[in-house]
Amino acid sequence: MSRSSLRRAYGVWAPIYDGAVSGFSAPLRRQSLAELPKDAQRILINGIGTGLDLPYLPAGKDLIGTDLSRAMLRRAQKRGHAVWLVQADAEALPLADGSIDLVILHLILAVVPDARKALTEVVRVLRPGGEIRLLDKFLRPGERAWLRRAIAPLSAALATHTDLVFEDILAQQPSLAVISDTPAALGGWFRLIRLRKSLSA
Protein backbone atom coordinates (compact mmCIF):
# COMPACT_ATOMS: atom_id res chain seq x y z
CA MET A 1 0.00 0.00 0.00
CA SER A 2 1.35 3.45 -0.95
CA ARG A 3 1.89 6.18 1.64
CA SER A 4 -0.99 8.26 0.27
CA SER A 5 -3.30 5.24 0.44
CA LEU A 6 -2.09 4.47 3.96
CA ARG A 7 -2.71 8.06 5.02
CA ARG A 8 -6.25 7.91 3.62
CA ALA A 9 -6.91 4.54 5.24
CA TYR A 10 -5.95 5.78 8.68
CA GLY A 11 -7.94 8.94 8.14
CA VAL A 12 -10.96 6.65 7.88
CA TRP A 13 -9.76 4.50 10.79
CA ALA A 14 -9.13 7.42 13.16
CA PRO A 15 -12.69 7.87 14.54
CA ILE A 16 -13.14 4.14 15.27
CA TYR A 17 -9.53 3.13 16.01
CA ASP A 18 -9.74 3.31 19.80
CA GLY A 19 -12.91 1.25 19.92
CA ALA A 20 -11.39 -1.41 17.67
CA VAL A 21 -7.92 -1.61 19.21
CA SER A 22 -7.71 -0.18 22.72
CA GLY A 23 -9.34 -3.03 24.65
CA PHE A 24 -7.21 -5.68 22.97
CA SER A 25 -3.95 -3.77 23.10
CA ALA A 26 -4.10 -2.02 26.48
CA PRO A 27 -2.60 -4.84 28.59
CA LEU A 28 0.08 -5.46 25.95
CA ARG A 29 1.04 -1.79 25.87
CA ARG A 30 1.20 -1.71 29.66
CA GLN A 31 3.45 -4.77 29.71
CA SER A 32 5.69 -3.43 26.96
CA LEU A 33 6.20 -0.09 28.72
CA ALA A 34 6.79 -1.46 32.21
CA GLU A 35 10.15 -0.77 33.85
CA LEU A 36 11.53 1.74 31.37
CA PRO A 37 15.25 2.52 31.69
CA LYS A 38 15.84 5.30 34.21
CA ASP A 39 18.05 7.18 31.73
CA ALA A 40 15.39 7.17 28.99
CA GLN A 41 14.50 10.86 29.04
CA ARG A 42 13.80 11.53 25.35
CA ILE A 43 11.23 9.04 24.08
CA LEU A 44 9.96 8.63 20.52
CA ILE A 45 6.54 7.06 19.99
CA ASN A 46 6.88 6.17 16.33
CA GLY A 47 3.41 5.67 14.86
CA ILE A 48 1.69 7.23 17.87
CA GLY A 49 -1.74 6.91 16.26
CA THR A 50 -4.42 8.20 18.63
CA GLY A 51 -2.03 8.16 21.58
CA LEU A 52 -2.99 4.88 23.21
CA ASP A 53 0.54 4.49 24.66
CA LEU A 54 0.52 7.84 26.45
CA PRO A 55 -1.25 6.71 29.66
CA TYR A 56 1.51 4.15 30.30
CA LEU A 57 4.42 6.59 30.10
CA PRO A 58 5.77 8.32 33.21
CA ALA A 59 5.45 12.06 33.68
CA GLY A 60 8.43 14.31 33.20
CA LYS A 61 9.72 12.70 30.01
CA ASP A 62 10.43 14.49 26.73
CA LEU A 63 7.90 12.76 24.46
CA ILE A 64 7.84 12.95 20.67
CA GLY A 65 5.00 11.34 18.75
CA THR A 66 5.14 10.83 14.99
CA ASP A 67 2.46 9.56 12.64
CA LEU A 68 1.75 9.67 8.93
CA SER A 69 -1.92 10.51 9.52
CA ARG A 70 -2.92 14.01 10.57
CA ALA A 71 -6.33 12.65 11.63
CA MET A 72 -4.65 10.26 14.07
CA LEU A 73 -2.44 13.04 15.45
CA ARG A 74 -5.49 15.22 16.11
CA ARG A 75 -6.94 12.40 18.22
CA ALA A 76 -3.65 12.03 20.11
CA GLN A 77 -3.58 15.77 20.82
CA LYS A 78 -7.01 15.62 22.45
CA ARG A 79 -5.66 13.29 25.16
CA GLY A 80 -4.06 16.31 26.79
CA HIS A 81 -0.63 14.78 27.42
CA ALA A 82 2.57 16.78 27.12
CA VAL A 83 3.90 15.40 23.84
CA TRP A 84 5.38 17.03 20.74
CA LEU A 85 3.34 15.69 17.81
CA VAL A 86 4.85 15.60 14.31
CA GLN A 87 3.34 14.39 11.05
CA ALA A 88 6.14 12.27 9.61
CA ASP A 89 6.94 9.17 7.59
CA ALA A 90 8.33 6.34 9.74
CA GLU A 91 10.81 5.62 6.95
CA ALA A 92 12.19 9.21 6.98
CA LEU A 93 12.10 10.61 10.51
CA PRO A 94 12.83 14.35 10.92
CA LEU A 95 15.17 13.70 13.86
CA ALA A 96 18.92 13.90 14.32
CA ASP A 97 21.17 10.85 14.51
CA GLY A 98 21.47 9.42 18.02
CA SER A 99 19.01 11.94 19.49
CA ILE A 100 16.54 9.49 21.11
CA ASP A 101 16.94 7.39 24.29
CA LEU A 102 13.99 5.04 23.79
CA VAL A 103 11.78 4.22 20.80
CA ILE A 104 8.29 2.75 21.07
CA LEU A 105 7.15 0.76 18.03
CA HIS A 106 3.67 -0.50 18.82
CA LEU A 107 1.65 -1.89 15.91
CA ILE A 108 3.62 0.07 13.34
CA LEU A 109 6.23 -2.16 11.63
CA ALA A 110 3.53 -4.43 10.21
CA VAL A 111 1.75 -1.36 8.79
CA VAL A 112 4.48 0.64 7.04
CA PRO A 113 5.29 -0.10 3.37
CA ASP A 114 8.86 -1.22 4.20
CA ALA A 115 9.51 -2.49 7.74
CA ARG A 116 13.25 -2.78 7.09
CA LYS A 117 13.55 0.89 6.17
CA ALA A 118 11.47 1.91 9.17
CA LEU A 119 13.66 -0.06 11.56
CA THR A 120 16.79 1.36 9.92
CA GLU A 121 15.48 4.86 10.63
CA VAL A 122 14.81 3.96 14.24
CA VAL A 123 18.36 2.66 14.64
CA ARG A 124 19.69 5.88 13.12
CA VAL A 125 17.91 8.18 15.59
CA LEU A 126 18.47 5.93 18.62
CA ARG A 127 21.54 6.69 20.72
CA PRO A 128 24.09 3.94 21.47
CA GLY A 129 22.80 1.99 24.46
CA GLY A 130 19.24 3.11 23.77
CA GLU A 131 16.30 0.70 23.73
CA ILE A 132 13.35 -0.18 21.51
CA ARG A 133 10.03 -1.49 22.85
CA LEU A 134 8.25 -3.37 20.08
CA LEU A 135 4.74 -4.82 19.88
CA ASP A 136 3.47 -6.32 16.64
CA LYS A 137 2.40 -9.43 14.78
CA PHE A 138 5.35 -11.40 13.41
CA LEU A 139 6.05 -14.88 12.19
CA ARG A 140 9.04 -16.80 13.51
CA PRO A 141 11.63 -18.31 11.15
CA GLY A 142 10.27 -21.48 9.55
CA GLU A 143 6.79 -21.00 11.02
CA ARG A 144 4.28 -22.37 8.53
CA ALA A 145 1.26 -20.34 9.73
CA TRP A 146 -0.66 -21.13 6.58
CA LEU A 147 -3.65 -18.96 7.52
CA ARG A 148 -1.55 -15.88 8.19
CA ARG A 149 0.32 -16.36 4.94
CA ALA A 150 -2.89 -17.03 3.01
CA ILE A 151 -4.57 -13.84 4.17
CA ALA A 152 -1.45 -11.69 3.69
CA PRO A 153 -2.51 -10.26 0.29
CA LEU A 154 -5.91 -9.27 1.69
CA SER A 155 -4.51 -7.87 4.94
CA ALA A 156 -1.94 -5.82 3.02
CA ALA A 157 -4.79 -4.19 1.13
CA LEU A 158 -6.30 -3.31 4.53
CA ALA A 159 -3.07 -1.58 5.64
CA THR A 160 -1.39 -4.34 7.64
CA HIS A 161 0.91 -7.29 6.98
CA THR A 162 0.47 -10.74 8.56
CA ASP A 163 3.43 -12.55 7.02
CA LEU A 164 6.46 -10.59 8.29
CA VAL A 165 9.27 -12.61 9.85
CA PHE A 166 10.87 -10.35 12.43
CA GLU A 167 14.20 -12.14 12.37
CA ASP A 168 14.54 -11.32 8.67
CA ILE A 169 14.05 -7.64 9.45
CA LEU A 170 16.40 -7.72 12.44
CA ALA A 171 19.17 -9.46 10.46
CA GLN A 172 19.91 -6.18 8.69
CA GLN A 173 20.56 -4.39 11.99
CA PRO A 174 23.75 -5.85 13.53
CA SER A 175 23.87 -3.08 16.14
CA LEU A 176 20.65 -4.35 17.78
CA ALA A 177 20.57 -7.09 20.41
CA VAL A 178 17.40 -8.83 21.61
CA ILE A 179 16.84 -8.38 25.35
CA SER A 180 13.57 -10.30 25.44
CA ASP A 181 11.01 -11.77 23.04
CA THR A 182 7.66 -12.81 24.52
CA PRO A 183 4.65 -14.30 22.71
CA ALA A 184 1.57 -12.16 23.32
CA ALA A 185 -2.09 -12.49 22.34
CA LEU A 186 -3.90 -14.73 19.88
CA GLY A 187 -1.72 -17.75 20.57
CA GLY A 188 1.50 -15.92 19.83
CA TRP A 189 0.42 -14.04 16.69
CA PHE A 190 1.75 -10.96 18.48
CA ARG A 191 5.16 -10.58 20.14
CA LEU A 192 6.54 -8.21 22.75
CA ILE A 193 10.20 -7.58 21.91
CA ARG A 194 12.83 -5.47 23.66
CA LEU A 195 15.94 -4.45 21.76
CA ARG A 196 19.07 -2.55 22.74
CA LYS A 197 21.49 -0.71 20.48
CA SER A 198 25.16 -1.52 20.96
CA LEU A 199 27.25 1.06 22.83
CA SER A 200 29.85 0.82 20.09
CA ALA A 201 27.40 1.56 17.27
Return the domain boundaries, the chain.
3-197
State what percent of residues in the chain have pLDDT above 90. 68
pLDDT of residue 151: 44
Q: How far apart are CA 26 and CA 18, in angstroms?
A: 10
DSSP 8-state symbol, 26: H
- List of residues 6+ apart from 187 with CB closer than 8 A: none
**Contact (Cβ atoms closer than 8 angstroms) between residue 92 and residue 66:** no
pLDDT of residue 156: 45
| Averaged pLDDT for residues 163-181 | 95
pLDDT of residue 152: 42
Is the pLDDT at 124 greater than 50? The verdict is yes
> 46-92: per-residue pLDDT in tens?
999 999 999 999 999 999 999 999 999 999 999 989 999 999 999 99
CB atoms within 10 A of CB 42: 16
CATH class (in words) of the domain with range 3-197: alpha beta
Q: How far apart are CA 179 and CA 176, in angstroms?
A: 9
Specify whether the backbone of 47 is left (phi greater than 0), alpha (psi in -120 to 50) or beta.
Answer: left
Beta strands 126-137 and 62-67 are unpaired
pLDDT of residue 132: 98
In this prediction the pTM is 0.87
